[in-house]
Structure 1
């Protein structure tokens, strides 16, 4: 994924656990881990979606500068943490995605809204977000924006999606 070369960010904070919207249905291939509180897992409450087109994706990376947003083939070949979960866009209602993690610890998390179903980040159309929720800008985001400390249960984070907003780069639409 080339998003690392096109998104930038100022400082952000580590994600903070928060309650999920009561009506949110957890989606994605790992939804059972969050629905049944079978951690360790991350439940990401997604807000700020531009529309209800395309697919949604969560990716889990090691929490190191060297490995953040690296190619998944390289990470897997080296035996490092990487996990990807896809979900179809729900027709309506709040959106929450779940992704399992291998063990309690600190990880980096990326969310993307693949609006054109191409599985390749489209700078002009697709959205992205990290738990830190700082404005992304136009170049590679900082690792600290994506960090999530995960315990043995389900850790809840809130991600506000950002899309290209003119010369200033990526920002929330609302």
Structure 2
């Protein structure tokens, strides 16, 4: 048994075992994460309901006043806002990238726009935040979305959640 483990470890170190599949990084900011340029956030998405529609990341200032505020209002007020869209890949792991203006705290929202209409449909579309807490039926709280971004690429995993009857949003 130990000999088999040592052999597998030796083969892995020598390149004899295949490396785990790396997800292609999606979105218009993909190069920032692929090249290790920062500050940026790489989001590995788990728990997608299906492979339809498009994926979106939105980055907001990390305060209650600006969290989930209309992007036109944020821009008009001279505040930071960034959005990245990506087409849903047919298969494989899903990873998206979004640039941040500088290291600091931000609020990050992921959505799965299943019908591709660019309007969130509570009954159909999915959403998620870095905390991965069950979203339920109430408006998400800032604390669920806050992420600390360093000077390089910060990686997080977000589990997509979808409406689950009267219990509100939850993982599939």
TM-score w.r.t. the length of structure 1 is 0.87
Separation of aligned partners in 2, 1:97 and 1:52: 15
Match of 1:92 in 2: 91
Structure whose residues are more often helix by fraction:
2
Structure 1 residue runs of 4+, over 6 Å off? Answer: none
Residue 53 of structure 1: aligned partner? 52
Cα distance in 2, alignment partners of residues 44 and 22 from structure 1? 16
Q: Quick one: distance in 2 between partners of 1:146 and 1:170?
A: 15
1:14-63 alpha-carbon deviations (Å, 9 max, x no partner): xxxxxxx7421100010000000010000000000000000000000000
Runs of at least 5 residues in structure 1 that lack an aligned partner in the other structure: 1-20
Partner of 2:136: 137
Which structure is larger by alpha-carbon Rg, 1 or 2?
2
Task: Name the structure 1 match of 2:68.
Answer: 69
TM-align CA RMSD = 0.8
Q: Look up the SS of the partner of 1:32 in the other structure.
A: helix
| Long gaps (5+) in structure 2 | 1-19
With the length of structure 2 as denominator, give the TM-score of the two structures: 0.88
Residues paired across the two proteins, number: 153
Bigger RCO (CA 8 Å, 6+ sep): 1
